[in-house]
Chain A
């Protein structure tokens, strides 16, 4: 009896997190610990310019102060033991050090890993219209379609490469949206970030294909601190996707990324995320701490749209935000967050209206199952000069079972009387009666749950690029397996 139970648990686990394999790739790992020498080591490993090292060191000193004064922020509705920042290794890279000229030079084991994730770099290169940058343990290993993009002047490469090839561009925009001292994790990231993606779309150019980055944490005991910077010059358009997975490990791993988006006048940036970091096991053992700062800045008539489907991580702490600095600029946030078992999420957005006639839309769908706790935390701020600003927020929570929780913390700060701010919230529950009704019509319980959940999320899914929408739906099914009953 107990044997078969264990066996089924094991099978369940496989099903639940199918990306939990570990790749046996030799990697170059820095010893655990955080100090100036480590920051210098990272910078020198990456052969960075001097100003970059100085920038990192400034961040590191700021972080040390923050850490000594208050430690990590504790205002979010999540619980976790203090993190020992000296026990983490801040740099891990696949060993093969030489710069890669093409995909053919990538370690075959690495390519196999991405194949397993359903991202065949070779296939993608040949078939689809998606350019992929693959980041493995903080280091970008392959970027596809570079040539085709270069023809229209689009730069899409790893952050390290950008620092080597386009240092002036990076220097001009880095930290302009998320300053070095923005918050504890962003400051930490500024000190130790190892890689990430850089995109630059010149004025007037519509990026001819979706740009996408896949992040994979592989090495044990390492943190992942990637940095993404996207700049869309005047009138430029770009759609960017990121996907994330990690192996199953018993210890928690820290992921503290920073994403900065710059939308110059009339530019349009669409940023989509499917986040599926390892969520930990049923009892809450292991899993990624996902403490991420994402922010975009819109100049006149520009638009930034964040769309995210978050099913992974033991703890999620992130608030993709838009600073609507220019007149007539538009910010959007579409989010589906799923928490099951012992997962915790405190997530939402900030829409900061500075310019006139600025407009923002927030659609947040939270799904909780098992013993998971989820909070929506959203700020809508209308500054005194933001004439005729408009915001519409809708936060819906769906509960599966009665051991989970959903909380909503809207912060509305209006300092201009012409503003129109609307906030709607709802909480519903997949009830036994709904499931029985579906089953009485011949649907299995799993299908019924996934149909109800997909219906609940459809306003967000329709914002995702096609191929991601399919992936997102499948992910939701996996994440909620066995969540009812």
Chain B
């Protein structure tokens, strides 16, 4: 579904991503971990097309299409969803109005009829229950005055409404209390399907206790320095990142080889 090849990206002229190669297949859940400032959110921004994130090298293919050539809204309509690390407040725009427009933009893109207000509300109430959100937030402005946890829940609620093919969850667990963590995880798990893939960015194993990842990657200084199964996350939790950093040279050269092979002899 998603093929990232030797991706380099800059922000404000500063190299942040320094050669990321990653394959995510339909049905898989990949956990991405890594110290603060290692580039996890940057990767999410590059994949979703945020302005100011300049790709200097490499490619990203999504469902056989050149993802980097698409505008942010096209990517969203094609099924790429980002649960923001810091969800944005939009004063004056009700959540229901906003989300109805979003759902219908995606439906239109796929040649489906727009949902009318009744159908939309019915669906929204159903999905809100899934993440234990009070319906009243539908009438409130998008994220305005929401608590940190409510904002994250709202992200997952939107995900269940939009039913993306690829969901990128950027630290959706941070700021959640134990119960909220469970309901959010349930919401995410309910979305798991053989057609859908997820990239779960997190610092903590506790999320991965609820959401079982197929693969774990550790990002450091803009590179994936280690990849492994679910056990890697446990190791990170137990030992921190230091031991990987020591090992990172090996990780580097291995990945460098992969990147070379991908780039091919021509370059």
Partners in one complex: yes
- Chain B 114-146 near chain A by CB (<8 Å), digits 1 or 0: 000000000000000000000000000100000
Residues of B contacting A438 in the complex (Cβ-Cβ under 8 angstroms):
90, 98, 102
The answer, among B73, B84, B91, B93, for a CB contact under 8 Å with A442, is B73
Residues of B contacting A452 in the complex (Cβ-Cβ under 8 angstroms):
90, 92-93
Expressed in whole angstroms, the minimum distance between the Cβ of A193 and any Cβ of chain B is 40
**Across the interface, do B87 and A437 meet the contact criterion of CB distance under 8 Å?**
yes
B33 CB-CB contact with A under 8 Å: no
Docked pose: A451 CA to B49 CA in angstroms: 21
**Across the interface, do A456 and B84 meet the contact criterion of CB distance under 8 Å?**
no
> In the complex, what residue of chain A is closest to B89 when comparing beta carbons?
A434
**Across the interface, do A437 and B101 meet the contact criterion of CB distance under 8 Å?**
no
Docked pose: A428 CA to B90 CA in angstroms: 11
Expressed in whole angstroms, the minimum distance between the Cβ of B169 and any Cβ of chain A is 13
The answer, among B72, B94, B141, for a CB contact under 8 Å with A436, is B72
Q: If the complex has contacts A442-B77, A443-B102, A443-B105, are A428 and B91 also in contact, measured as CB distance less than 8 A?
A: yes
Residues of A contacting B48 in the complex (Cβ-Cβ under 8 angstroms):
440
The answer, among B72, B93, B97, for a CB contact under 8 Å with A439, is B72
Q: If the complex has contacts A432-B51, A436-B72, are A441 and B158 also in contact, measured as CB distance less than 8 A?
A: yes
Expressed in whole angstroms, the minimum distance between the Cβ of A223 and any Cβ of chain B is 38
Residues of B contacting A443 in the complex (Cβ-Cβ under 8 angstroms):
73, 101-102, 105
Number of contact residues on A: which range applies?
Answer: 20 to 34
**Across the interface, do A440 and B51 meet the contact criterion of CB distance under 8 Å?**
no
Expressed in whole angstroms, the minimum distance between the Cβ of A85 and any Cβ of chain B is 43
Residues of B contacting A439 in the complex (Cβ-Cβ under 8 angstroms):
49, 71-73, 76
Question: DSSP class of A's interface residues: helix, strand, loop or mixed?
Answer: helix
A84 CB-CB contact with B under 8 Å: no
Docked pose: A425 CA to B50 CA in angstroms: 32
Among B84, B88, B92, B99, the one with the most A-chain Cβ atoms within 10 Å of its Cβ is B92
Number of contact residues on B: which range applies?
Answer: 20 to 34
Docked pose: A367 CA to B87 CA in angstroms: 24
**Across the interface, do B92 and A442 meet the contact criterion of CB distance under 8 Å?**
no
Docked pose: A451 CA to B104 CA in angstroms: 14
Docked pose: A456 CA to B81 CA in angstroms: 27
**Across the interface, do A451 and B98 meet the contact criterion of CB distance under 8 Å?**
yes
**B:51-100 near A, CB below 8 Å:** 51-52, 71-73, 76-77, 81-82, 84, 87-94, 97-99
Residues of B contacting A456 in the complex (Cβ-Cβ under 8 angstroms):
91-92
A455 CB-CB contact with B under 8 Å: yes
Given contacts A432-B52, A445-B73, 12 further A-B contacts (CB under 8 A): A436-B50, A436-B88, A437-B88, A439-B73, A440-B82, A444-B105, A447-B105, A451-B93, A452-B90, A455-B90, A455-B93, A455-B97
Binding site for A on B (CB under 8 A): 48-52, 71-73, 76-77, 81-82, 84, 87-94, 97-99, 101-102, 105-106, 109, 141, 158, 162
29 CB-based A-B contacts, threshold 8 Å: A431-B88, A432-B51, A432-B52, A434-B89, A436-B51, A436-B72, A436-B88, A439-B71, A439-B76, A440-B82, A441-B102, A441-B158, A442-B76, A442-B77, A442-B102, A442-B162, A443-B73, A443-B105, A444-B73, A445-B73, A447-B105, A451-B98, A451-B101, A452-B90, A452-B92, A455-B94, A455-B141, A456-B91, A456-B92
